[in-house]
Structure 1
């Protein structure tokens, strides 16, 4: 059976860097407080001309260049985002237009931080049934447009950016080997964001405070560690593998304490765990593809390596995905 193989990766980060010291001038916090609790030192913030779809397009272009493909070769574009350029049309349609990928159909998905992994799983299913397809999967966020800059518990965490991967069919055993996806909508209130205020008076919520990210940090921490641990174990058991068989683990870059706890529970050696949360913060759906592109360009992954992705986000959603590079 044909598998979906990553042919190229790309990423795009805004020019502006926001440091912890600069955040001290915005909200009641300190570099020491942020670093000790999150591991984040800097994050990127979009400026003029760096809208979500523009970041996504540049990441996609770079992935196509690495793959040696023209935008016209694409059959499908998926953009995972919770901070779309517009409610409609989809950010993916803007990307399609910017790329000139006129042969592709395009749509967005929203699984929050888990979105890119969900997107890879979708692309894999399409390619299994139609091996000739070429699919561009992008995770792209401008979370600076959705952050409450008066809330020190959330505004210090998030950053902007985009990452992308181009996938095509492979018959040599490399590609996506398996995945596990989960959701639990009963816990939506632990991490959520309202939409624009309703223009229907009968559907206006009394607790509407703007389209801003709201989070119960302590409960999210507990859920994230447990869920990612469980979903990695579940996938490894399905594939009859152990963590020792994996060459590189790329987790969602949410918070260094979550990553350290996950590493401890799964016994992941330092040299097999990719971490860049200190530079970019939590970029939600863009987190894993940015890390994947960095790992690829740094030579951290080689042909036939086993690469494991694991992630957790609002919904609640969580997932793991295993590929042979």
Structure 2
């Protein structure tokens, strides 16, 4: 991995082995070459996955809505959806860009779903894509490492920044929504999409382009001097793992229970569960909490491809659904739960699908 991401201060990471052991990821993908040059932009990754929705990779002219999700757009302005649409070059359409972390995929899916469900549009595309690797390159950390050494402080990147370098992957996935099911192959009927934010109760946990202030709020990159942005690695992704561990699973299962009660869902009727987890460590913790609360959604129903493709954040859940679809296991009327957490400031989403 460090052949692609580089060595910080010419030394192997002290936390890499520990992180890889905990997350259980065996392989992953980067849109980088070994010279650390970007091979595909985020918009290009999204565009390539959208093309593969169609057998001949030709995007038809009857798409009404494009909703794009990402936590790593190529630029602040214009919107990520505008850049993806620019690559499609097929027809005018309505655009939506959702921003955040992992849950952006379900935010984009719900926009597309509601547009079709309302009858305003007949076909929509939901795209999710991530290009995290360029932000994880060693060059983005070396100035801070050197600065900390010079002023006699111990670099804290091993816990707040460096460990994330071995968690994230690049990739894209896309979903075609229509007011009628496919004439060839399997379709998935969306029964409902539910999302909950707990930001009113919990502080920020994962962030980029900011630093945590002592009062728990964020100091924006706009408040830093230009050299501080480099010295403090402000534009790298960070996560407060001390806040993550006691909260991420508990609130996730709170949200799941809320959904099951709201929609009167009997867990025994669910055939498959696809949980988006950042690592296999949390896979086990989620299973333990669900069992503790006597919810009949044991891991015998679960499906994940995390260890094979890595954690691609917002693009993970649809990539996993695609692999489950291609496994040959699914049959008509199977029920599938998609579970997506977001630890930016603790938001969660759940989707119920029926195989048709």
Is 1:51–1:85's contact at 8 Å kept on the other side of the alignment? yes
CA distance in 1: counterparts of 2:122 and 2:95, whole angstroms:
13
CA distance in 2: counterparts of 1:271 and 1:19, whole angstroms:
35
Q: Which residue of 1 aligns with 2:152?
A: none
CA distance in 2: counterparts of 1:147 and 1:22, whole angstroms:
6
Q: Which residue of 1 aligns with 2:258?
A: 234
Q: Which residue of 2 aligns with 1:289?
A: 318
Name whichever of 80-89 and 217-226 sits farther off: 217-226
CA distance in 2: counterparts of 1:299 and 1:265, whole angstroms:
30
SS at match of 1:97: helix
Is 1:308–1:321's contact at 8 Å kept on the other side of the alignment? yes
Is 1:72–1:103's contact at 8 Å kept on the other side of the alignment? no
Name whichever of 96-105 and 156-165 sits farther off: 96-105
Q: Which residue of 2 aligns with 1:169?
A: 179
Gaps of 5+ in 1: 1-17
Q: Which residue of 1 aligns with 2:204?
A: 189
Structure in which a larger fraction of residues adopt strand: 1
SS at match of 1:116: helix
Q: Which residue of 1 aligns with 2:45?
A: 55
Name whichever of 40-49 and 119-128 sits farther off: 40-49
SS at match of 1:178: strand
Q: Decide whether aligned partners of structure 1 residues 167 and 88 sit closer, same or farther in structure 2, where only a CA change above 3 A counts.
A: same
Q: 1:147: Cα distance to partner?
A: 3.2
Q: 1:101: Cα distance to partner?
A: 3.3
CA distance in 1: counterparts of 2:137 and 2:267, whole angstroms:
38
Q: Does 1:114 align with 2:103?
A: yes
> How many correspondences in the alignment?
305
1:54-99 alpha-carbon deviations (Å, 9 max, x no partner): 1111111112339x98431211111111100221222212222222
Q: Does 1:124 align with 2:109?
A: no
Q: 1:234: Cα distance to partner?
A: 1.7
Q: 1:298: Cα distance to partner?
A: 1.7
TM-score (norm 2): 0.76
CA distance in 2: counterparts of 1:296 and 1:20, whole angstroms:
34
Please give the root-mean-square deviation of Cα atoms over the aligned residues, in Å.
Answer: 3.2
Q: Decide whether aligned partners of structure 1 residues 71 and 244 sit closer, same or farther in structure 2, where only a CA change above 3 A counts.
A: same
Q: 1:259: Cα distance to partner?
A: 1.3
Q: Does 1:212 align with 2:236?
A: yes
Is 2:5–2:137's contact at 8 Å kept on the other side of the alignment? no
- Which of 178, 199, 202 is the equivalent residue of 2:192? 178
Q: Which residue of 1 aligns with 2:63?
A: 74
Q: Decide whether aligned partners of structure 1 residues 20 and 134 sit closer, same or farther in structure 2, where only a CA change above 3 A counts.
A: same
TM-score (norm 1): 0.82
Q: Decide whether aligned partners of structure 1 residues 101 and 200 sit closer, same or farther in structure 2, where only a CA change above 3 A counts.
A: farther
Q: Which residue of 1 aligns with 2:124?
A: 135
Is 2:115–2:121's contact at 8 Å kept on the other side of the alignment? no
Is 1:23–1:156's contact at 8 Å kept on the other side of the alignment? no
Q: Which residue of 2 aligns with 1:29?
A: 15
Is 1:243–1:266's contact at 8 Å kept on the other side of the alignment? no
Q: Decide whether aligned partners of structure 1 residues 277 and 221 sit closer, same or farther in structure 2, where only a CA change above 3 A counts.
A: farther
Q: Decide whether aligned partners of structure 1 residues 174 and 108 sit closer, same or farther in structure 2, where only a CA change above 3 A counts.
A: closer
Q: Decide whether aligned partners of structure 1 residues 171 and 163 sit closer, same or farther in structure 2, where only a CA change above 3 A counts.
A: closer
Q: 1:117: Cα distance to partner?
A: 1.4
CA distance in 1: counterparts of 2:125 and 2:311, whole angstroms:
22
Q: 1:217: Cα distance to partner?
A: 1.6
Q: Decide whether aligned partners of structure 1 residues 232 and 93 sit closer, same or farther in structure 2, where only a CA change above 3 A counts.
A: same
SS at match of 1:41: coil
Name whichever of 313-322 and 145-154 sits farther off: 145-154
Gaps of 5+ in 2: 33-37, 142-160, 211-219, 292-296
Q: 1:289: Cα distance to partner?
A: 1.4
